[in-house]
């Protein structure tokens, strides 16, 4: 499987399994199926409330922990030095592991309307300081960001001793966040795409349906191929074993450059409505 070397030398598989809502009805079974399908890169978060299921699936797989790349995230309402340390220890306990491969600040601000909403700069920096210490303690191999825009990144870098290795962003055809992607790469970060299929919102987009037919693939496979060819690490999710296998086989050289350009120039569509600097918008 193709891998990306992060700015600290750690390697991350370019195709991972997103666990958001994957364990809602069936517990750890879906994660176990993903492991059976061949996934070794698993993406979870405290917010998803499924770290225990992910940890159990890894343990029951019988595969060495060292074969996995496990990501979790510090939830937005637990930003701060002490709470970051506490939350990491809780994540390690639930995941039944003594280290994480990647730990991200999930969002740069607390929930809109909270008293500490405008204190995000200091909260981010203090969270990062705690995460840097945990890297030195061997509890995290790489640290990074999620949903950080250029001004959030600049604020963090003013005091960071360790450069962020990853920025995980909502990225898919119709929503490419060009400025955030380019700035993250300029600062040495790998870019990871969450919701690379647009959570199903792209399935009936006529332009994508027509192009998928041209290549003889499904719209999800087209979206994933586009993201891989754009140089993004992807973390698709599915509860269906056959689709899990299909997603792992996505190629990074399928789409012609002409068609890549056409997809890049699509009008904006499929946005989740989630934005780091404003109240979530329902779309």
Could you confirm whether 48 is annotated as catalytic? yes
Copy the structure tokens of residue 213.
């037919």
The predicted model scores a pTM of 0.96
* Catalytic residue from among 28, 39, 48, 175: 48
Task: Give dist(CA 125, CA 230) in Å, integer.
Answer: 30
pLDDT at res. 282 = 44
Length reported for the chain? 283
pLDDT at res. 279 = 60
How many alpha carbons fall within 13 Å on the CB side of residue 53? 23
Tens-binned pLDDT, residue by residue, of the chain (283 aa): 789 999 999 999 999 999 998 887 777 999 999 999 999 999 999 999 999 999 999 999 999 999 999 999 999 999 999 999 999 999 999 999 999 999 999 999 999 889 999 999 999 999 999 999 999 999 999 999 999 999 999 999 999 999 999 999 999 999 999 999 999 999 999 999 999 998 778 888 999 999 999 999 999 999 999 999 999 999 999 999 999 999 999 999 999 999 999 999 999 999 999 999 986 544 4
SS3 category, 94: helix
Task: Give dist(CA 223, CA 173) in Å, integer.
Answer: 6
Q: 42 - beta bridge partners?
A: 17, 70
Cα torsion 247, 254, 10, 80: sign: negative
Task: Give dist(CA 82, CA 60) in Å, integer.
Answer: 32
Copy the structure tokens of residue 223.
């979206």
Query: Which CATH superfamily, name and number, covers 3-253?
Result: NADP-dependent oxidoreductase domain (3.20.20.100)
């Amino acid at each position: 499987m193709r891998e990306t070397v992060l700015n600290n030398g750690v390697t991350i598989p370019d195709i991972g399994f997103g666990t958001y809502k994957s364990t809602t009805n069936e517990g750890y079974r879906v994660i176990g199926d993903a492991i059976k399908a061949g996934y070794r890169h698993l993406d979870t978060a405290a917010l998803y409330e499924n770290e225990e299921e992910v940890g159990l699936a890894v343990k029951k797989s019988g595969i060495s922990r060292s074969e996995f790349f496990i990501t979790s995230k510090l939830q937005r309402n637990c930003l701060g030095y002490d709470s970051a340390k506490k939350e990491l220890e809780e994540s390690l306990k639930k995941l039944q592991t003594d280290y994480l491969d990647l730990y991200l600040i999930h969002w740069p601000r607390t929930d809109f309307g909270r008293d500490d909403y405008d204190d995000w700069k200091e909260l981010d920096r203090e969270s990062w300081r705690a995460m840097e210490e945990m890297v030195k303690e061997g509890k995290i191999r790489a640290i990074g960001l999620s949903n950080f825009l250029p001004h959030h990144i600049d604020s963090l870098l003013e005091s960071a001793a360790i450069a962020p290795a990853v920025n995980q962003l909502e990225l898919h055809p119709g929503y490419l966040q060009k400025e955030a992607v380019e700035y993250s790469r300029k600062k040495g970060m790998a870019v990871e795409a969450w919701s690379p299929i647009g959570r199903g919102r792209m399935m009936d987009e006529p332009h994508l349906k027509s192009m998928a037919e041209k290549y003889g693939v499904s719209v999800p496979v087209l979206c994933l191929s586009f993201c891989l060819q754009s140089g993004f690490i992807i973390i698709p999710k599915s509860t269906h074993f056959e689709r899990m296998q299909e997603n792992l086989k996505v190629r990074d050289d399928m789409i012609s450059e002409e068609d890549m350009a056409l997809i890049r120039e699509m009008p904006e569509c499929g946005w989740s409505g989630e934005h780091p600097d404003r109240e979530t918008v329902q779309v």
